[in-house]
Amino acid sequence: MKKSFLAAAVAAFTLSAVSLNASAFETSTLNSGLGKGNVVTLEAAPLQLSGKSIKVGGLFPSVLLKDASLANFDTSKSSDKVRIYTVIASVDTPVCDQQVKDLSAFVESNNLKGIEMYAVSADTAFAQARFKKAAKLSDKIIFLSDSINHDFGRNTGTEISALGLLTRTTIVVDKNNRIRHIQRVPELTTIPDLKEAVSVAKKYI
């Protein structure tokens, strides 16, 4: 892939919609595959995904991520709650800004007892913390960083290989660490259906 194309893709991703109003990006019900051999589009430009594909019904892979305190978070650790992983590309993009702010508003206005909410990106934990504070996001959302080894992206098939970022995805994992729902939107300027993910998660509380 030529550098000029990558530069154009990054520019489009970060700047194309800065002037749009809040909630300008559409929620999508579409779903596409993860991992090597699949693509995500950015305003019709195809970007290759890499890594191992996860599947509904399978166990969620064990990955070490960093939380805001730089402590390790193991995705396979035992939990008495259902987990929803909201996977975002970067906190520096307008689509992700809307996606996480919408998530924050949703968790504050709905009873999600028994569900844990995580936001995962390839940003550093420091960048995530700055974004969370500046955007005044709910403390009910736990940010996790995949910036060091990109193990999350490679072990879930959510890595955009040319950009080193994660593709926009929502994953529901039950108390036994089994995957119950995946939605990976085929176009990066659209947002996964959070309400559908929550509806599935509630079945496993």
Q: Looking at the annotation, which residues are catalytic?
A: 96
The half-sphere exposure of 204 on its side-chain side, counting CA atoms within 13 A, is: 23
- Give CA–CA dist 138/34, Å, rounded: 29
Distances, alpha carbon 167 to alpha carbons 24, 97, 131, in Å: 19, 14, 19
Nearest to 205 by CA among 105, 120, 97, 81: 81
Sign of CA dihedral 174, 55, 98, 121: positive
3-state secondary structure of 13: helix
Query: 184 forms bridges with which residues in the sheet?
Result: 169
The half-sphere exposure of 27 on its side-chain side, counting CA atoms within 13 A, is: 12
What is the spatial order of strands in the sheet that 45-50 belongs to? 39-42, 45-50, 159-160, 165-166
